[in-house]
Amino acid sequence: MKTAAFVNPQQLIPLNLTLRAKMIVEGTIAGLHKSPYHGFSAEFLEYRPYLDGESSRRIDWRKFAKTDRTVVKMFEDETNLFAHILVDKSASMAFCTGSNMPKFEYARTLAASLAMILINQRDAAGLAAFDEHIGTFLPPRSTNIQLKNILNSLNSIQPGAATKCGDAVDTLARSIHKRGLCVIISDFFDEPQDIIRGLRHLRFKRQDIIVIWLLDPFEQNFSSGASYRIDDMESGQSVTLDGFTASQYFSSGLKDHRSTIERACKELQIDFECVSTDEPFARSLLKVLEKRSRLH
């Protein structure tokens, strides 16, 4: 029987975000033959065991009184990795075809799963959501409360305005002062040179970057003989084209757009992954896990 991480994403749509992410994370871990985790635990780590030789003043005596366990509170400088998860919430991310999961729903599900994995591993995870600007920003933390805040934020966000992905990435880079990991989940429908400028800034800030380019299956394989009225979800403009002209125009433009950004990612040593919203979440999660393992 397939676990949630390996099934078609549309089967997970009825589930709430927290349950969906939990099932995906558990399924991904169960599906690994050789886990990159060391001591993976289902417990969220706000505490760690007291170590022999440490000052007894570090023991949380209230916790000891309740549980009879000697533990020490976790602090940010004890985390393994500082990670920022950047999620595109622009209007184009609401797009979907047929019964496929909308791009934004896929993006926030993936972001929730990543945050759950990272925080379980004592990594500090943060969230930034953007359209024209970064509207939600949670600096990286490594506690259970942080995970709840990330999940609550992702639950409350809805796609809306036009995108300025490049500006958002650049803005995030200005706020970063520690070396870490940055995962960007977007359809990247913005000027490629603006996006590349933001990515360069992140690399300058010593960030290891994973670009997850998220597309609907229709966007990846646009081919039809029917006529289409093409509506821009961000500008509101529309145009009617025959299917052949529309598919040629869109496919050619998307190919050029992708090759420009993919080439820049290669030059900047940025991991690039193109993901379709009908693909199981395990592929994207394993990409991040492999990157995290290499960083350690």
pLDDT in tens, 239-280: 665 656 666 667 788 889 999 999 999 999 999 999 999 999
DSSP 256: H
Short-list 243, 239, 241, CA closest to 226: 243
Contact 83, 123 (CB under 8 A): yes
pLDDT value for 286: 81
Give the span between the Cα atoms of 211 and 203, in whole angstroms. 12
pLDDT value for 243: 59
What residues does CATH 3.40.50.410 cover in the chain? 23-35+77-295
Contacts of 251 (CB under 8 A, 6+ apart): 222, 223
What mean pLDDT is reported for the chain? 84
189: its two tokens? 């429908």
pLDDT value for 37: 41
Give the span between the Cα atoms of 74 and 46, in whole angstroms. 5
- How far is CA 46 from its chain centroid? 23
The tokens 């992954």 sit on which residue? 273
pLDDT < 70: residue spans in the chain: 1-3, 30-48, 52-53, 74-79, 223-236, 239-249, 295-296
Element (H, E) at 183: strand 180-186
CATH topology of domain 23-35+77-295: Rossmann fold (3.40.50)
pLDDT value for 218: 86
Contacts of 290 (CB under 8 A, 6+ apart): 36
pLDDT value for 195: 96
Q: Taken in order 109, 113, 114, 116, is the CA torsion positive or negative?
A: positive
Q: Supply the DSSP string of 215-247, one letter for each residue.
A: E-HHHHS---SS-EEEE-TTT--EEEE-HHHHH
88: its two tokens? 């595109």
pTM above 0.75, yes or no: yes
